[in-house]
Amino acid sequence: MRLRDTQGTALLACLFALLLLTLLGSLALSNAQIEMRSAFYQQQEVTALSLAEAGIHLMLYWLGHPESAPIPAQNLLMPRFSQDEGFPSFVNEKGVSQFSGGPLAPDFQLSISRNQGPWDASWTSLWYTLVPSGETLSLKLYAPIVPGAIGTLESTAKTAADVQKTVTVQLIQKGTGLLPMKGSWHERYE
């Protein structure tokens, strides 16, 4: 009789151990799934932020080379004033920027969408670069918040997973160059 009692106890201990291992395995799989989902969304946030920053860099390039900007924006992106040294400037002698719009009614706004219609040749390479990573890129240029600055650049990007990031930068002019103001490069979470 004692052998049978021992066999029953061993069977019960094995079943309990099997149940415990099953629970630990399920917990580990659940934890791994949560970590994978978290890593995916972190990757999407980095992608959205990188696309938004790329939009800022693109607008900086256009401000320095207005002839490369989309045709309707070329005149808008040309400096209208002159500095004391004779360099073209976006700010007059009183420190007032040539840009006067606001976030809701910017001086310049461009939206690139996955469903947008035909593109001209200058946009084709930009569009094919952005399509795999992001669905929308919105670029805005409007009046500066800081007196004496050139303007505010705002770029919004959204990934296919609907993660959206906005980067806003205040620009200043040093000689012939354009520089983001120190401490103004930041994210705005939507």
Answer yes or no: is 12 within a domain: no
What's the alpha-carbon Rg for the chain, to the nearest Å? Answer: 28
Answer yes or no: is 125 within a domain: yes
pTM, to two decimals: 0.73
Strand, helix or coil for residue 172: strand
Answer yes or no: is 152 within a domain: yes
Q: Give the separation between CA 86 and CA 80, rounded to whole angstroms.
A: 12
pLDDT for the residue numbered 190: 46
Domain count of the fold of the chain = 1
Q: Which is higher by pLDDT, 99 or 4?
A: 99
Answer yes or no: is 118 within a domain: yes
Written as six digits, the tokens of 89 are 């400037």
* 122-160 confidence digits (pLDDT tens): 555 555 566 566 666 788 999 998 887 889 999 888 888
Answer yes or no: is 135 within a domain: yes
pLDDT for the residue numbered 110: 85
pLDDT for the residue numbered 157: 87
pLDDT for the residue numbered 189: 46
- Whether the per-residue pLDDT at 4 is higher than 70: the answer is no
b/e burial code for range 130-155 (CB count within 10 A of at least 16 → b): beebbbbbbbbbbbbeeeebbbbbbb
Answer yes or no: is 132 within a domain: yes
Answer yes or no: is 86 within a domain: yes
Q: Give the domain extent around 62.
A: 45-189
Answer yes or no: is 109 within a domain: yes
* 8-61 confidence digits (pLDDT tens): 788 888 999 999 999 999 999 999 999 999 999 999 888 888 888 888 888 888
Backbone angles phi, psi at 171, to 5 degrees: -110, 145
